[in-house]
Structure 1
Amino acid sequence: MLHALREYGAKLGGEPGFKSREVRWCIQLSEVGQLLNIVPLGDGKAGIMLERCADMHGMVSGGKAHFLVESAQTIALHFKEGEEPAKVDSATARHQYYSKMLAQAAVDLAVLSHPSKLLCDPVSLDQIRAMMVEKRVKPADWVTWQVGAIDPREDADVQQWWRDWRLQDLGGGVETGDSLPVGSMLCLLTGEPVEPLLTQPKISGLSGVGGLSMGDVMVGFDKAAFQSYGLEKSTNAAMGEAPAQQYVDALNHLIRQQKEATSKNPSRRTNAMMVYWFKEHIPPEDDPFSMLYGMETDEQQTASALSQARKLLDAIRSGNRSALGNNHYYAMTLSGASGRVMVRDWMDGQFVQLVSHIEAWFSDMAIVHREGGNRLAPDPKFLAVGGSLVRELKDLPASTTSVLWHAAVAQLPIPQPLMAQALDRFRSAIVKDETFNHARMGLIKTYFVRQPQGKALMQPYLNPDHPDPAYHCGRLLAILAKLQRDALGDVGAGVVQRFYAAASTAPGLTFGRLVGNSRNHLGKLEGGLSYWYEQQIAEVMKQLGDQFPRTLNLEGQGLFALGYYQQLATLRTPKKDSNNSNTQGESA
């Protein structure tokens, strides 16, 4: 896992001493050093991510500052009103460190001479602070510089100066050779002798899933029980500075991508975060995870994810997209706990296998639309499936998200507890007369499809020849409910609301009364419609045989729910369309 992350980080150009930051403001100077303006970066709600910002080591000890890109408080001594004296003193020390380092760099770098002179001039510093107050810059906001048309952060000479300064400040590097240098170890990621990091860089962005706002560590040892051979902290998992920075940069990049997608659709927030990447770059339209996860959590989609996956799979297998067949995918489910990154799931494999599993997920999830007709419900996005198990998506446990993710990506069976949870939510919706949730019904169907021989028995549309009596008990309840409504109109709490729970668990004790009462309803209908209902009831009774099952276990209750739902969808289908529904169900 860490090797794959490190490779990804290397492609991003990950390097010790540099870090991506969300920068909100830019101090603009003219070519001759005149203060022009302080302009906002980003959309007003968030800044923009700037790559390769200098990252100072040893910040925990205090008194230090990052080079070039820093907070408004550190750069210009910009404080909120009434700031505590201790914090003012601490920030002042960091400002002095920052100004001194900038002046030192300006000796060799002409592009930094103007920012350095500006900070040394009390009048200019007051102007910067006044402008920050006017622009409502927060003291903690990150700020960068622009001199004329030049961004010093991107200047190659500036970056090299920082590398040299940093290496000197760290006391030089560790020389490698045929034998291990004194005090060095073999890096777990490269196998090369290194001076191992005592503490590894932090991974940020997991505060929404249990992590800390200051960041979390992937590899860390802060308890004696986890340490061996007298080693301290992260030396128990020895890694060199560069490879450790690369895997951390990779994770930070992946988390940022996921957070950007979530920020566009807050309803996607859960208690776990899924991140993924590919060994070789692929265009967004060929991304199977995008088909699965998508931008929407509702059912409004312009294209079928199932057809997209099938089209891509056919192209790979036919040789039209053979390069994709050699690609690999990597996926992780992350959350935070007490300052540590929790890896709840890890998957990797062939790209073509992934596409095949995504296609199978949508195929197995396919279910008739709740309004009937010869159409299937829209392909549900992944979080719509998870959200169907809880009242609100934020209540979905991270462990459940991980299990569902694994079921979709690795084509594993749906665990029975998740089917039971979906069934419980279905029963609750029935009693409250809520709209049917397509994703929930698809998940219950997928549970049975992924059982032995389940694919042949469970179709998207109604299966009149299903061998299990529980399925036909659900069908019968749907017919009796429709009969009551046609005979009596809207009577408030009808057959379903009053008897669903009992009928779905103990049909042998419930249906005798319901079927008997249906004769009264038949008598209120005109002859043709009464005869049609008698035929429907007789057809289902024929499948049930001599008697109703006395009780139903959990799987029987799931089949009951599917029978009820699919029969009701069929009853809502116009008569002219009903003859083609089974044919379409087989092709779905």
Structure 2
Amino acid sequence: MSWITALNQVYDNSLNQVEAKDKMLLPISYSTQKVQIEVYLNENGDFIRAARLADNKQMTAMPVTEDSAARSNGIVPGVLCDKLIYLAGDFDQYFHPKKRGKDYFDAFLSNMHDWIEKGNAPEDIKVIYRYLLKGNLTTDLKKAEAFEKEEDMVRFVVEYPNESVTIGSWEKPEVIESFENYYVSKLENSDICYATGEDTQIATKAPFKIRNPADKAKIISANSDERYFGRFIKASDAAQIGYITSQKVHNALRWLIGKQGYKNGSECIVCFSVKGNAIPPVIDDDKDIFFDEDDTVETGENYAKRVNKAIAGYLGTRKLDEQDQIVVMAVDTASGADQGRLAITFFTEMVDSEFYDNITKWYNNCSWCLKYKIDNKVIWKTGTPNPKSIIEAAYGIQNDMDKEILQVNDKLLKKEIDRILPCIVQNKQFPKSLMETAVHNLENPLRFSTSMFKDLLSRTCALIKICHVEEGRGETDMALNKDNNDRSYLFGRLLAILEKMELDTYSDQDKMGKRRPNAIRYWAAYSKKPAKTFQLIRENLVYYIAQLDYGKQVYYQKLVDEIMMQLKNIDGFTNIPLNENYILGYYCQNADFYKKSTNDEEE
């Protein structure tokens, strides 16, 4: 299935879904534009009142022709809503005669008259036409104190006696249907649509405003026959698409991006079901899509159950549909600008079951106990880091220690999100180099505040976990594994013990301040020459150990002796650099300390 076929089906399956006007699935031959003035008329075409619209009510879905939707210069009139110069017969009386306002006005009236004569236009269009013929719109707007700029756009509302609900002329079903039938019948360029194979009216200009209302980039464009020289006689030989199909495809893509698209810089990523079924978002910058604030049991097994439960919630009462296609696609321009050609930078399709299987694997295999901020309260919950937080773990720089913000180059962020996307939706192998970069970023903990370092540590553990799972090394447990004899894991445990021994001597003021223990300050050296650096840190802790009560001294010494024995048994107490497992050992030993101290407080 091509992207055109998929979006064409989405349009047909979702046409009855109506949302906020700036996110609605547009009808055929409709586009969106911000309108500043709303004019009310009575059934006789007399002016009643006018009002300026608030910013949040300006976005208007209006009927357009191919030319008016793509106009830039010249006299290219719309058919219902337009700029004042097209609608006001008295424009030249108030503004610059050199603009030839009458030519714009006459062109607009000609369009509207043709619709009325040939398209069986509804009564609203006839009423508005009768009013515009009077040629005093500008005068009426000035009297109503609704005028501000000559570039203002205007829309109309016709009020009828005994009408219980008054809606704008541009959004009435009979107006929408009438204009579509009228305009399509006017199109003369009939040929084979390359998308559907039908003999139908061919689109001569493709719509824009795909990623946002200001987007001028087109996903289908052929404005010069010369670029096809030597291959085709004319541009239409390379590709041509039916007008109705073009409208459906572009409107569906625009609607999906506005409703559920993810903005990766200038790139837009959207995931959708061709049949219009609700599906979980594949990327979310806030928190993972299976986050549950009320879930108090923090284990990987419980998180897996939560993922499965959430998947079942999206499926509802329906079963997995092998006939439904899930499509993930991304669009962007080469330069990232709102001009030029819009390319499809990513496209994949899969059946229902494959999609849910892939995202279930991702969220289970890349899960860890992560930091979340809910209502200004920090909580730690099992979850999966979103792509942006993964890239921050690998490349993030904290420029201000007082702010929990990581800076990443925008181009790098966009590039790396594109690398992670296939891992989520296609079950592609996670790039190990990204995990190794995150491990390397942690080797300089003094560049981060204490809380940020802990946050990055957890994210990195999640990346180590998914890499280990994909390499067939089994599940990585968040709980401390005292039977793990991996050399790096053991050295990581030792580092956590050395840190805890020193922290236990700190006052509350020290802990609240910026004082950092020796284990953190020597972190980079420890990862490269662990045996030598362990001895150095241990010597520096003599003074701190002496301050501990006898029970703690015995407890910590016993832990160190047990781990040293494990290292001796594998001849592991050397200066060979550590691999990523020392991160896991450090985290798990620290988590075990926290767990024990919490239990002691409860007892």
**Closer/same/farther in 2, CA of residues 245 and 519 from structure 1, 3 Å limit:** same
Report if the CA contact (8 A) 1:206-1:215 is conserved: no
Per the normalisation by structure 2, the TM-score is 0.76
1:401 is the counterpart of 2:417: yes
* One-letter identity of the residue aligned with 1:466: N
Q: Distance in 2 between matches of 1:47 and 1:231?
A: 44
2:5 counterpart residue number: 3
Identical-residue share of aligned pairs (%): 16
Matches within 5 A, 1:60-75: 60=71, 62-72=74-84, 74-75=86-87
**Closer/same/farther in 2, CA of residues 367 and 142 from structure 1, 3 Å limit:** farther
Report if the CA contact (8 A) 1:473-1:560 is conserved: yes
Deviates more, 1:299-308 or 1:346-355: 299-308
Match of 1:278 among 273, 289, 294: 273
Report if the CA contact (8 A) 2:219-2:343 is conserved: no
Q: CA deviation at 1:301?
A: 5.1
1:289 counterpart residue number: 281
1:584 counterpart residue number: none
1:47 counterpart residue number: 58
**Closer/same/farther in 2, CA of residues 158 and 49 from structure 1, 3 Å limit:** closer
Match of 2:497 among 447, 464, 479: 479
2:330 counterpart residue number: 333
Q: CA deviation at 1:415?
A: 0.5
- Secondary structure at the residue paired with 1:57? helix
* One-letter identity of the residue aligned with 1:329: I
Q: CA deviation at 1:73?
A: 5.1
Matches within 5 A, 1:146-161: 146-148=158-160, 149=166, 151-155=168-172, 158-159=175-176
Q: CA deviation at 1:534?
A: 0.7
Q: CA deviation at 1:323?
A: 5.0
Report if the CA contact (8 A) 1:23-1:142 is conserved: yes
Q: CA deviation at 1:32?
A: 3.1
Q: CA deviation at 1:345?
A: 1.6
Matches within 5 A, 1:174-189: 174=190, 184=191, 186-189=192-195
Match of 1:201 among 198, 207, 220: 207
**Closer/same/farther in 2, CA of residues 342 and 560 from structure 1, 3 Å limit:** farther
1:241 is the counterpart of 2:243: yes
* One-letter identity of the residue aligned with 2:355: L
Aligned length: 538
Q: CA deviation at 1:472?
A: 2.2
Match of 2:519 among 473, 477, 496: 496
Report if the CA contact (8 A) 1:272-1:333 is conserved: yes
**Closer/same/farther in 2, CA of residues 424 and 113 from structure 1, 3 Å limit:** same
Deviates more, 1:377-386 or 1:60-69: 377-386
Q: Distance in 1 between matches of 2:327 and 2:437?
A: 29
What whole-Å deviation, never above 9, does each CA across 1:544-576 have from its counterpart, x for those lacking one? 3344343437xx1x3222322232222222346
What whole-Å deviation, never above 9, does each CA across 1:2-24 have from its counterpart, x for those lacking one? 22122223335577533355555
What whole-Å deviation, never above 9, does each CA across 1:64-98 have from its counterpart, x for those lacking one? 1111122455434899xx99x69x72766433322
Report if the CA contact (8 A) 2:89-2:102 is conserved: yes
Q: Distance in 1 between matches of 2:491 and 2:313?
A: 43
Per the normalisation by structure 1, the TM-score is 0.78
Match of 2:478 among 456, 460, 485: 460
Q: Distance in 1 between matches of 2:237 and 2:36?
A: 36
Report if the CA contact (8 A) 2:275-2:325 is conserved: yes
Q: Distance in 1 between matches of 2:189 and 2:256?
A: 30
Report if the CA contact (8 A) 1:200-1:234 is conserved: no
Q: CA deviation at 1:510?
A: 1.9
What whole-Å deviation, never above 9, does each CA across 1:390-430 have from its counterpart, x for those lacking one? 43477253221122222122222220232133234434455
* One-letter identity of the residue aligned with 1:205: R
Matches within 5 A, 1:109-148: 109=121, 110-129=123-142, 131=144, 133=146, 139=151, 141=153, 143-148=155-160
**Closer/same/farther in 2, CA of residues 54 and 163 from structure 1, 3 Å limit:** same
Q: Distance in 2 between matches of 1:426 and 1:92?
A: 69
Report if the CA contact (8 A) 1:188-1:237 is conserved: yes
1:181 counterpart residue number: none
Q: Distance in 2 between matches of 1:104 and 1:507?
A: 84
Q: CA deviation at 1:310?
A: 0.6
Q: Distance in 2 between matches of 1:504 and 1:142?
A: 67
Q: CA deviation at 1:529?
A: 0.6
Q: Distance in 1 between matches of 2:290 and 2:445?
A: 18
* One-letter identity of the residue aligned with 1:476: L
**Closer/same/farther in 2, CA of residues 89 and 505 from structure 1, 3 Å limit:** farther
* One-letter identity of the residue aligned with 2:309: K
Structure 1 gap ranges (5+): 175-183, 263-267, 579-588
Q: Distance in 1 between matches of 2:290 and 2:320?
A: 32
**Closer/same/farther in 2, CA of residues 461 and 104 from structure 1, 3 Å limit:** same
Matches within 5 A, 1:313-392: 313=311, 321-324=318-321, 327-337=324-334, 339-368=340-369, 376-389=381-394, 390=396, 391-392=406-407
**Closer/same/farther in 2, CA of residues 370 and 247 from structure 1, 3 Å limit:** closer
1:552 is the counterpart of 2:571: no
Report if the CA contact (8 A) 1:68-1:145 is conserved: no
* One-letter identity of the residue aligned with 1:237: A
- Secondary structure at the residue paired with 2:368? coil
- Secondary structure at the residue paired with 2:210? coil
Q: Distance in 1 between matches of 2:170 and 2:313?
A: 44
Q: Distance in 2 between matches of 1:34 and 1:161?
A: 23
1:166 counterpart residue number: 183
Structure 2 gap ranges (5+): 16-25, 161-165, 296-302, 373-378, 397-405
- Secondary structure at the residue paired with 1:275? strand
Q: Distance in 2 between matches of 1:256 and 1:526?
A: 61
Report if the CA contact (8 A) 2:495-2:519 is conserved: yes
Report if the CA contact (8 A) 1:9-1:246 is conserved: yes
Q: CA deviation at 1:530?
A: 0.5
